Structure formats: structure tokens, C-alpha cells
Amino acid sequence: MKILVSAKRVSDPNAKLAIAKDGKWIEGDVEYILNPFCENAIECALQIAEANEGTETVAIGIGDDETARFIRQGALARGIDRGILVSAEEASIDSDLIARIYQGVVHREKPDIVLLGKQAIDGDSNQVGQLLAEYLGWPQATFASKVEVSGNKAIVTREVDGGLETLEVSLPCVITADLRLNEPRFASLAGIMKAKKKPFDELEIDDLDLEDTDTKVQIVGLSTPSGRKAGVIVKDVTELVQKLRSEARAI
């Protein structure tokens, strides 16, 4: 079996971001982390590989040298077998092009499962897995909180509003990982050092023979949230209840 898994870097949610002068991207000394949902996807791939001997796992990232570092340290160092970087400028690609890039890589690699994070915590688009499944014509199971692979099918439990849904999808398929899928392991120093020696391919978008490389979404502008209004101090519970009822209309 072969599993393709995503390794996207995202800006650290704890970092203070500044908006670039053109108002369309972020700038400055941005700290990055591996997208937490990708960490769940990677852990899931490793667990499937550990349970199914002979499974090959491949991590893919789209971006520059920094992204390559996250593929190595976030995926290969944890135990993923090899890495692929598709060079692109992150500011100039959208979910659709990312899905098509994945499609191109899938045509080259022919995996049985593509495991992605359900979304990236910077853009929060939540589209790539779904678009990819559509372009490939493969079944999809998104927001997975449990994945079991047996034979040529996967049983996936999804977290949906008000409960759980269990799907059986035939392979090949696309699965996207939710946070409760697992508890990602950490890469050890030995793992980090080994990762440098693992096979690593760098591709250009042009290498993938995509029919369509247009972006369909453009960022028109970014703005910071407006500052929070100052709170009010109430005298007693009666006043609190009254304000909640008449002003906040919360009760």
C-alpha cells in the first residue's frame, strides 16, 4: 500500500502577524509551525503503515525551502519514508491549484490513500481534500476521527453535527483528518537526523502536466480584527440580568 500525506506549514497561531503594505499578504518575521491537522494525517499514515507491513508513506508539501524543512522535520523525522516538495510561492496559489497540484502528484505516485488535514489553520479554507477527490473521481471521507483500513476499503468515522457518521470507502480514496483522530507523536533527535538522509524530490508545477494552473480566488484585502470594545462593570446581579435581557438579548 502507498499513502500520500500532506505537510503544510502555517503561520504560528500565537504569533502576532503584520499585514504587508499591499494589504494582500502577511509580512515580517513570521514563525511557522506544521499545520496541526497535517500532524494528525501524518500520525494516521504512520499508524496504518505500522499495522500494514510493506506500506510506503510519502509526504508532500507545496512552497519553498522553508516548506522543505517542515516536510523533513515534521513528516520524515516522525517516520514518513520520503518527501516531495512542489515549488511554488504560497502567496500566489489557491485551494483549487493546490488540489490540482496534488492531482498531478497522485498521477505520478499512484497512492492508495491520500491523507490530508481537514483544513490549514491559516487560510481555514477546508477545500483541498474535497476538490482533489472530485478531480480524481475518488471517494472521500472528510473530518475523520477514526480510520481503519482493511483490504481494499477504509472504514472512516466522521464527526458531523450532532454525532458521528461511519463511512466505508473503497480504495483509492481521499481522507481528511480531524483533530481528535489521534495524538501525534513527536520526532526524536535521532528521527530528525535520519530524516536528512531520506529520499526527497523537488518538483516544479510544470513537471506535473496540469491542464489548468489558473488560480480562481484572489485575495483582495486583509485586515486585522477591530479592537474589542471595553467592558462594563455592573453593580449587581439584577443589573447584569437586566442588561443581558435588554442590551445583549442573550436571555
Of 21, 151, 189, 228, which lies in the binding site for another protein, with binding defined by CB under 8 A? Answer: 189
Interaction with another protein in 99-158: which residues (CB under 8 A)? none
- Smallest gap from residue 70 Cβ to another protein (A): 10
CB environment 9-19: b (16+ within 10 A), e (fewer): bbeeeeeebee
Task: Give the integer Cα–Cα distance in Å for 223 and 24.
Answer: 9
Please report which helix (H) or strand (E) contains residue 154, including its range: strand 153-160
Of 193, 217, 222, 244, which lies in the binding site for another protein, with binding defined by CB under 8 A? Answer: 193
3-state secondary structure of 237: helix
Beta bridge partners of 174: 114, 140
* Interface region with another protein, contact rule CB under 8 A, candidates 95-103, 110-118, 157-165, 180-188: 180-188
3-state secondary structure of 156: strand
Of 125, 126, 171, 191, which lies in the binding site for another protein, with binding defined by CB under 8 A? Answer: 191
* Interface region with another protein, contact rule CB under 8 A, candidates 56-64, 146-154, 187-195, 232-240: 187-195
- Smallest gap from residue 178 Cβ to another protein (A): 18
Task: Give the integer Cα–Cα distance in Å for 11 and 8.
Answer: 10
Binding site for another protein (CB under 8 A): 69, 73, 77, 185-193, 196
